[in-house]
Amino acid sequence: MNDGPQAPHLLLVHGAWHRSWCWRDLQDLLTERGWTSHTVDLPSVVAEDAHGRLPGLMDDARAVREAIDAVEAPLVVVAHSYGGAPVTQAAVGAANVSHLVYVSAFALDVGESLMTCFGGEQPDLTTVEGVIPVRENPGTTLYNDVPDDKRDAALARLLPQSALSFAEPVSRAAWHTVPSSYVLCDDDQSLPPSYQEPFARRTGAAYRLPSGHTPLLSMPDKLADLLEQIARGTS
């Protein structure tokens, strides 16, 4: 358990197609262990019938920064998957952020987007519209090691992701100035370890879990152990 008024809080930022419900199991464990955690819902996760201009990465970054600024305590920001992109943008200059934790997440550099970070071409943002449907075979790609009941419940709650969120590049990168760590997921079927490793090298420390893409659902206890270890080190 953490102790003292200066113990950091944790801000948990979800990935594409999810909302903050995905952190509930982990939050319950953290609460039992004496930690305070917060979540944010990213606006780029949209309703099935969404139309018109949809929110992008910069809208997500603003939502994350508002959540950061609302916490009057030292803060460890934990990003899962796509959530790493808006966190990378949002945490620059945030005085209360003591550490970033990327969990199989996109630790992008300035000018990179999800569409370009592995060699793709940057599209004209004025032409980007619509949504990216939930990725193919999510039961395998996202939840290959998640228990059946939790997997089925999660699958029923997934929503489309705005295409603009994947297309917009970050204009600043917090990991250059904010201490950061990376949690590599060794059985990830969505962002395999070979794709995670270049991001991990951008951070100050790397940890590993024998998990699929979503350890917050498949092994929240082990992820909580790691986050406790990291957060204690920032106090």
Q: How many CB atoms lie within 10 A of CB 93?
A: 11
Higher per-residue pLDDT: 170 or 122: 170
pLDDT at 52: 74
Q: Would the pLDDT of 47 be above 90?
A: no
Q: Would the pLDDT of 3 be above 60?
A: no
Percent of the chain with pLDDT over 90: 88
Res. 2 pLDDT band, cuts 50 70 90: very low
- The predicted model scores a pTM of 0.95
Distance CA 185, CA 16 (A): 17
Tens of pLDDT, residues 148-173: 999 999 999 999 999 999 999 999 99
Residues 62-82: what's their mean pLDDT? 97
Distance CA 22, CA 174 (A): 24
Q: Would the pLDDT of 1 be above 70?
A: no
Residues 6-33: what's their mean pLDDT? 97
Structure tokens at 152: 């089925």
Helix (H) or strand (E) holding 209: strand 205-209
Res. 235 pLDDT band, cuts 50 70 90: low
Helices within the chain (DSSP H only): 24-32, 57-69, 84-90, 138-141, 148-155, 163-167, 193-200, 215-218, 220-234
